[in-house]
Amino acid sequence: MTEAAHIAVIPGDGIGVEVTEAALHLADRALARVGLPALRRDVIAAGAEYYKKTGQDIEPDGEARAGRGEAIFLGAIGLPSVRHADGTEISPHLRLRDLFQLYAGVRPVKAYPNAPQRLADPRAAGLDLVILRESTEGLFYSAAVHGRAEVFGDEAVHDIMRISRTTTEKLHRFGFRLAEKRRARGRPGVLTCVDKANVFTSQAFFRKIYDEVAGDFPDAKRAYAYVDAMALDLVRKPWEADVLVMENIFGDILSDLAGGLVGGMGMAACGEYGDDHALFQPAHGSAPDIMGQDKANPLAAVLSGAMMLEWLGERRDEPAYDGAARLIEAAVERGFAEGELRPMEFGGDMGCRAMVAALEARI
């Protein structure tokens, strides 16, 4: 029998605990359906609550244990009321990105039937695009490790926009391969470079490397957009987008905008990939105002769990993991289509537990 996959689990803060349990419970059910053993979990304490108790944002051996997992699953981290002395929130997950070089942040943006459609145009019902966000550099480079920003007393702060050739080449290669996979599944397969190359030298460098890497993908479909124009187009005509690759802070902003087009952050799944490690998380916050009230929408976490199973299948060369991922995705699709998924986030009558039960029945 196949040995159980070993994952590091960081439930974190607020609703992170309940959506993590929801995602992993359904992942285990899907694995059982395809004849694979349940995930073996190593639960790691980290986040704002842990910081409030101990003065540390992750338990002493947490980073090393996270690195030993075949994948990392994170629920949500941060509480608005718990901050560092400089005013920033507790964010060990940014350091994990830096430590394990998780350079490719994948944010799928998919519309589901009977889920809220924020745009009136009927073409919005078929939205299916991906925002690919570099996750270790850009303007988040300073945020990943405290002390990288230059602080000049109480007069000025310089954060750093870092774009390196090594990381950016990897990112663009990842993007072109992702576009190829989507083209094989019937999508356009266009990789759009989103930048501000007309203003910033760092962004012109980002685009230059995109063009260089594209030479290794002669059949690739290329496109270009400035980030401000892309923000406009994500509202005017998002159905024309396929895979959008961009720097960290641009991706942080546009992925939330795009998430709003398909219902809200409760649908915002996320996978962050490096050469040897990957981390999966719902992209929403910890929502402490609804913690413990069974009001959370678990779908972002559930769909992130499906992304994790797909990664495990690729790493292990075991197609059954991918089959388990497809079971989860199909359960979400059918559940919405048949009106059996009605999250409170969208004004429905179903909390986290009811949503999990409905999905489990379909899996």
Q: What percent of the chain has pLDDT over 70?
A: 99
Classify residue 109: in a domain, yes or no: no
Q: Tell me what pLDDT residue 214 has.
A: 97
> Same structural domain for residues 127 and 191?
yes
Mean pLDDT taken over the chain:
95
Strands 156-158 and 150-152: antiparallel
Classify residue 107: in a domain, yes or no: no
Classify residue 269: in a domain, yes or no: no
> Same structural domain for residues 213 and 151?
yes
> Same structural domain for residues 224 and 316?
no
> Same structural domain for residues 257 and 279?
no
Region 278-301 average pLDDT: 95
Q: Tell me what pLDDT residue 145 has.
A: 66
Q: Tell me what pLDDT residue 149 has.
A: 81
Residues with Cβ within 8 Å of 246's Cβ and at least 6 positions away in sequence, in order, are 131, 132, 133, 134, 193, 194, 195, 227, 254
Q: Which of 238, 246, 343 is nearest to 22 (CA)?
A: 343
pLDDT for 80-112, tens place per residue? 899 888 888 888 998 999 999 999 999 999 999
Classify residue 252: in a domain, yes or no: yes
Q: Tell me what pLDDT residue 1 has.
A: 66
> Same structural domain for residues 249 and 290?
no
Q: Which domain holds residue 244?
A: 117-261
Final residue in a domain of this structure, among 261, 284, 300: 261
* CB distance 71 to 14 below 8 Å: no
Asked which of 40-49, 154-163, 173-182, 299-308 is least confident by mean pLDDT, the reply is: 154-163
Better pLDDT: 216 or 90:
216
> Same structural domain for residues 219 and 136?
yes
pLDDT for 183-213, tens place per residue? 999 999 999 999 999 999 999 999 999 999 9
Classify residue 25: in a domain, yes or no: yes
> Same structural domain for residues 122 and 219?
yes
Q: Based on the structure, what is the number of domains in the chain?
A: 2
Q: CATH number of the domain at 254, please.
A: 3.40.718.10
Classify residue 185: in a domain, yes or no: yes
Classify residue 108: in a domain, yes or no: no
pLDDT at 146 over 70: no
Strands 71-76 and 243-246: unpaired
> Same structural domain for residues 316 and 249?
no
Region 323-351 average pLDDT: 96
> Same structural domain for residues 257 and 126?
yes
Final residue in a domain of this structure, among 236, 261, 286: 261
> Same structural domain for residues 199 and 318?
no
> Same structural domain for residues 153 and 69?
no
Confidence bin at 224 (pLDDT 50/70/90): very high
Secondary structure class of 5 (helix, strand, coil): coil
pLDDT at 144 over 90: no
pLDDT for 26-65, tens place per residue? 999 999 999 999 999 999 999 999 999 999 999 999 999 9
> Same structural domain for residues 234 and 284?
no
pLDDT at 150 over 90: no
The pTM score is 0.94
Q: What DSSP designation does 123 have?
A: G
